[in-house]
């Protein structure tokens, strides 16, 4: 019987992890009394009694919780940004490479990736690794995401029933200081020499995320057509259970000429698409996932399954 403790149970990610854990046999969920969760001595007992701890906390609080753990057998999956570029922490996208998977399997410290960063890395990492894109390629991207990624405060603003709710007027670009907290992992975990130019956009829908990455074929280090890139990605991810590379088929990948941002919702899949115009030498990679699934709680449970030696899809399909 494995003991699991979710530190930060009131947030969106923590609640979803807790809900999914209820489906597991041979797991005991440790629950701290609501009035004791800020009592560090009491919290320390729970952290050190667990086989696996999920941290669903702000960055500083996550670091403080890690510092309280002195049991060498306690493993940690941190959903915050705090440890995503820390050299001693495994980065929690097992599909990126065998090394990533093996490190997650053997590590006691795993940093769960960000939702935007997951979509970006799954599209770009293989191309940089293979030298198709140089690590100095001037990458830009935008993401369109549902408002649930902003947590309870943003959810409440979008779901405010006021007659003239300004949040419902249209999609909103944000982090226009170009300092999004996922940028460091986007750069380091994909092997880029520079951070990408990243513009996130939030829309009036609850969940779903797509990263759109334009590529100029003339700037590729190894020149390939859109169809060849689709085939390369399909070969790269052929054994990855939760990454689906969609066929190179413009019509079948669209809904009445448009792209469905929510098409991967309620799954733990990342769906990759390649669109291109060979005459113009342009290409667009699109990477879609559920920001609360593969982008958060689903990824955390997938990492736990790997760490416990379970089938990675356990209770995720």
Residues recognised as catalytic: 115
Radius of gyration for the alpha carbons in the chain, expressed in angstroms and rounded? 20
Dihedral sign for Cα atoms in the order 199, 127, 293, 114: negative
HSE at residue 125, side-chain half, CA atoms within 13 A, is 22
Task: Report which of 68, 71, 116, 118 is spatially closest to residue 91, judged by C-alpha positions.
Answer: 118
DSSP for the chain reads -EEEEEE-TTSHHHHHHHHHHTT-SSEEEE---GGGTT-HHHHHHHHHH-SEEEE-S-HHHHHHHHHT---TT-EEEE-SSTTTT-TTSEES-GGG-HHHHHHHHH-SEEEPPPHHHHHHHHHHHHHHHTTSS-TT---EEEEEEEGGGGHHHHHHHHT---TT-GGGSS-EE--TTS--TTHHHHHHTTT-SS--EEEEEEESSSS-EEEEEEEEGGG-SS---HHHHHHHHHHHTTT-TTEEE--S-TTTTSBTTB--TTTTTTSS-EEEEEEEETTTTEEEEEEEE-TTIIIIIHHHHHHHHHHTTS-TTTTT-
Task: Look at the chain and count its residues.
Answer: 317
């Amino acid at each position: 019987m494995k003991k699991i403790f979710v530190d930060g149970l009131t947030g969106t990610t923590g609640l979803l992890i807790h809900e999914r854990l209820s489906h597991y046999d041979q797991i005991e969920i440790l629950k701290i009394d609501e009035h004791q969760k800020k009592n560090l001595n009491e919290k320390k007992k729970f952290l050190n009694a667990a086989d696996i701890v999920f941290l669903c906390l702000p960055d500083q609080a996550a670091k403080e919780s890690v510092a309280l753990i002195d049991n060498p057998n306690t493993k940690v999956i941190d959903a915050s940004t705090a440890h995503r570029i820390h050299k001693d922490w495994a980065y929690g996208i097992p599909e990126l490479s065998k090394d990533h998977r093996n490190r997650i399997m053997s590590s006691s410290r795993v940093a769960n990736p960000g939702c935007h960063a997951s979509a970006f890395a799954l599209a770009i990492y293989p191309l940089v690794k293979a030298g198709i894109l140089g690590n100095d390629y001037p990458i830009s991207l935008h993401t369109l995401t549902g408002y649930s990624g902003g947590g309870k405060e943003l959810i409440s603003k979008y779901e405010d029933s006021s007659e003239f709710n300004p949040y419902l007027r249209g999609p909103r670009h944000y982090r226009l200081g170009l300092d999004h907290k996922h940028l460091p992992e986007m750069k380091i975990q994909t092997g880029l020499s520079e951070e990408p130019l990243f513009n996130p956009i939030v829309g009036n829908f609850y969940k779903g995320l797509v990263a759109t990455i334009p590529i100029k074929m003339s700037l590729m280090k190894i020149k390939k057509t859109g169809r060849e890139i689709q085939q390369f990605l399909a070969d790269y991810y052929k054994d990855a259970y939760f990454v689906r590379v969609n066929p190179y088929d413009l019509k079948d990948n669209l809904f009445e000429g448009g792209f469905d941002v929510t098409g991967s919702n309620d799954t733990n899949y990342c769906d990759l698409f390649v669109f291109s115009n060979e005459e113009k030498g342009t290409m667009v990679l699109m990477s879609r996932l559920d920001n609360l699934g593969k982008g958060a709680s689903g990824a955390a449970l997938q990492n736990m399954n790997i760490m416990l030696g379970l089938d990675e899809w356990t209770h995720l399909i």
